[in-house]
Amino acid sequence: MAAINEESYNFTGAGEPERLEGMRVSADLFPLLGVEPQLGRVFTAAEDQPGSQHVVLLSYGLLR
């Protein structure tokens, strides 16, 4: 079982901020779907706890 919640986020950095649609998901989602990122890693169960550091996975389209 995994949790998913659709949300909007403000993406800031160089240039004007951009509003992005995203999802907040539990760490169980990726193993449940049997998927892994092309680069980097998914977040761990320890990072899925209240008060832990935020972890972001970017889509390939956003990364480009």
> What residues does each domain of the chain span?
4-63
Whether the Cβ atoms of residue 27 and residue 42 lie closer than 8 Å to each other: yes
CA–CA gap between residue 55 and residue 19 (Å, rounded): 18
State pTM to two decimals: 0.73
Q: For the chain, what is the radius of gyration of the CA atoms?
A: 13
8 pLDDT above the threshold of 90: yes
11 pLDDT above the threshold of 90: no
* Three-class DSSP category at 31: helix
Question: Can you tell me which residue has the tokens 């008060």?
Answer: 51
Q: Residue 51: which pLDDT band, with cuts at 50, 70 and 90?
A: very high
H helix runs in 1-64, sequence order = 29-33, 60-63
